[in-house]
Chain A
């Protein structure tokens, strides 16, 4: 387009031709003045407006502040011409803040209500473009929203964007843009997106044929799933499945290979998504995932010549290693990874070294044992002297993470040595980290004091206040250390140039504990005084006031130097600094009191120990995370700190929205608020744990659904669900406490059912487990049937059957939730008893509470008789052995069974059914050694009998 605008080309050429900056500025000012005038005169056609806006944008790109043309830009948006619309998008995109600028500009020029009308106008024309049938216009509108993404737009347009995303008629490039636009709006205003409600529909898009769409949707889901992990739980299976299909089955379209690596970005995204979830419990998924990760690691063992190929392969590999570490640090996969990483950190490629160290820090942060890493300690320490600062930083982080009691002296020593030559920008962070490590892994207090004092003297300017506060706290609280600390600090003070922080520490420690060493040669009161006071003239006022306090303490314990001290107070009474003056006056008065006055002694009592406190250091290092940004999956530091962090985030997350106070409190980063925050986290433990598990899916209702289900409770196979599109059938087999269900899904229509997903919900996973044997295929071809095997295991007695949720896309998105006929009696086996045996046991169990009895009405068959075969079918279908000849009445049924559970063992169960034809009533009695079983079985058999 620029080629068609001579004026614009000329303008650009002029600017390029400008020799010096002044000339360039002059040219721009001239042009801007011209444009301003043109705009003011008005009467411009679309082409002219476009040209001027283009010039403005070019000026903006050069970095000049531009404050005109936004209004014209917005006018162009409502133009019907594509080229005019497009330049507007550009003008928005040229500047993330453009709309803010528009508003700022308007706020001055227009009245308030006009302003709001005006914004509505923008939103309206964007909506018009979204609704249009022209995909290219849709894209432009989406693009504008994604780049401006104001909260007004989020509110007004989220629905429209979502519609474009899920509409089956949308082109792939529209879907991609819509997904990212939705994400943008979510980041801006999370509350306008009903994430939980849309969850399943959005996840189903991960099965799209086009990998580009999958990539964008995965980005969206990664963000949403972090805030709503339960609602989006299905995405875990989808991600594993997709990785498996790309990595192992090589199922991807050729255009998505990048230098022979299949869809590296998508793989990285998926691997990252999986790290936001806790490691899966499902054995099937676990195996598939392990296999996939294994393949990724083996295939990248051979580095190739091509740089791009290596880059892409390593990108996937590093993410895979991170996931392996996340899943289980003890797995053989991680051992393989550790070997790979060791090779990486001594690689010739700087990028690989950098990422190797980074990932190793992840391993160190999670791993239970640091031994495999310690083998490479030497290499890592060498990396501190790498020629690249980025690598040096990573090495520092890694050393920080892998430090423990055994190697702390070595690592801290090495860091201290490096500190003296370290880059200026690195020092403050290093000091903080050294201080933390020294405190955390100190093997002896002496070492602690030595190291910290060495640290302060080596990097004085970079030592934050909290470092020396902490030394004082620890020395005060540790009696054994006090004399030693006083001696060491005194030695430091004797050196000619001493950093001010050290003078502060020295002042405090000698004031409190100087008297402990005063009798040793070389540490006499007068020497202490002279050394300390010689530093005073180089110090700022706050330090001097600390020294004054030291002197008043000495007046108390060292009467022999009292005259010198009083002399100093007297002099300081006349300094200009108010604080110093006040202290000096007060101390002077205190020191001049007669000797028998106890006032001074009382004031100068030894400091009581500090209450135990969380170190302020770590909280400064680990600040809190924000809401909708992608969170980190791990942080630097040892294993405990990561566990802690995980707990914090999982516990606080559900409440975060309602507790904005929490955030602001931690922002200050003080030790106290960190403690408060930790407590707040604890408080939430109880309620959040109760609400932890996902809510049960709402059951689909239909006239026959109950009947189908009930029938299957006492038969091994049959239809579970059927409608115009799909039929679900069941075949089941049970053996002891284990069972296997073959679930058949039949597609009855002539179109494929895509994004076919089936999930199982079990309300009490401690009592019943249900897992699919493998990840099901996600497409159900027309008029075919697919089978899925479900393994169930009864651990304890349970009352709620598992719920199967099936969802698929057949034009629109559909989802069906139905109960599976897996009930407790399925896990029982019939037992044969003779009459005597039966009654002996019947009596042994006795009545209430181990007996459950109910009387309920029955209906008779057509001939007016009790439907005996039906009753027998139900009782035996519930896996009872029907014992004939025990009850004299032939229409009564007596049964016995043993229920198998894997955790609670076997439970015996006896049953008696006595129908009465005249009264049309029936009495059902169940006795069992377990009260729970008796009630549960009675309910189940009763419901089956009542159902006609």
Chain B
């Protein structure tokens, strides 16, 4: 089972925190702990990390030799981190992170960190189409995208119906003009970043 999905940047500021199991301590300390574990790992190490240290936050993992495992992937300025248990395949989770990123990229067109800041709700909605209650719901980017779109449309419709005078009704997804230019942190996402 997936117990947590976190996104934080290279300075350790959380951009998305989602826990599927109750926490024993505040989420801030968990993020900091995980950040301190991951940020010290140089490039070239594997994407998996046994983390007995997390027992203090998520409770002990019972079962023989069972541990919390952290699977993470670094994209430009952001770390995508999944905390899972032994029932998940590590490489499968790694692939799932890639799917998540691709899905974000589809929705935001060249997603950047600022998108995650200003459209945090949208990020949650996209995640909800991939993982539900700690389990993988859908892995196909097309399918995820169409679910996100249909939810978006439903939202738009209800918005328009309740605010008949609103102009445009551009809801979520597209960035509006007032925001700073994107950092394009993901432009090389499929080619250059590799599996690290």
Contacts and interface: CB of A to CB of B under 8 A. Distances in A.
Given A96-B22, A308-B95, A623-B62, A2 B121 contact: yes
A93 interface: yes
B184 interface: no
B172 A623 contact: no
Nearest to B129: A173
A674 interface: no
Contact of B121 (A54, A219, A626, A667): A54
Interface in B29-51: 31, 41, 44-50
Nearest to B124: A90
A255 B140 contact: yes
B182 interface: no
Interface in A67-91: 81-84, 86-87, 89-90
A307 B195 contact: yes
Interface in B84-103: 85-87, 89-92, 94-96, 98-99
A87 B89 CA distance: 32
Contacts of B163: 47
Contact of A63 (B14, B20, B137): B14
A318 B91 CA distance: 9
A139 B146 CA distance: 14
Interface string A447-470: 000000000000000000000000
Interface residues of B, number: 83
A9 B139 CA distance: 32
Contacts of A9: 118, 178
Pick the most buried of B14, B41, B91, B139: most chain A CB atoms within 10 A of its CB.
Answer: B91
Nearest to B16: A61
A531 B194 CA distance: 61
B136 interface: yes
Given A12-B118, A255-B142, A623-B62, A351 B137 contact: no
A3 B170 contact: yes
A535 to B, nearest CB: 33
A625 to B, nearest CB: 4
Contacts of B117: 12, 16
Contacts of A622: 64-65
**Chain A interface secondary structure, helix, strand, loop or mixed?**
helix
Nearest to B14: A63
Contacts of B122: 1-2
Contacts of B174: 3
Contact of A350 (B26, B45, B120): B45
B183 interface: no
B188 interface: no
Contacts of A176: 137-138
Given A1-B155, A308-B98, A355-B90, A393 B50 contact: yes
B136 A219 contact: yes
A21 to B, nearest CB: 11
Interface stretch (A581-589, A631-639, A680-688, A883-891): A631-639
A277 to B, nearest CB: 16
A181 B52 CA distance: 29
B128 A83 contact: no
Given A315-B89, A621-B64, A629-B1, A390 B172 contact: no
B181 interface: no
Contacts of A93: 18, 124, 128
B147 interface: yes
Interface string A641-655: 000010000000000
B11 interface: no
B106 interface: no
B171 A315 contact: no
Contact of A258 (B52, B87, B95, B121): B95
B92 A264 contact: yes
Interface string A607-635: 00000000000000111111001111001
Contacts of B171: 1, 3-4, 83
Contact of A2 (B85, B119, B151): B119
Nearest to B190: A308
Contacts of A624: 62-63
19 contacts: A2-B118, A3-B118, A3-B119, A3-B176, A61-B15, A63-B27, A96-B20, A142-B132, A147-B20, A180-B133, A268-B92, A272-B87, A272-B89, A311-B91, A311-B95, A318-B91, A354-B48, A389-B50, A667-B62
Given A1-B122, A97-B23, A632-B86, 13 more contacts: A1-B155, A57-B120, A96-B19, A173-B143, A265-B95, A318-B91, A351-B91, A351-B94, A355-B91, A387-B44, A621-B64, A624-B63, A636-B64
Interface of B: 1, 14-23, 26-28, 31, 41, 44-50, 52-53, 62-66, 85-87, 89-92, 94-96, 98-99, 117-122, 124-125, 128, 132-140, 142-143, 147, 150-151, 154-155, 157-159, 161-163, 166, 169-172, 174, 176, 178, 194-195
A-B pairs, 7 with minimum CB distance? A630-B87, A63-B28, A315-B91, A146-B133, A350-B46, A82-B158, A635-B64
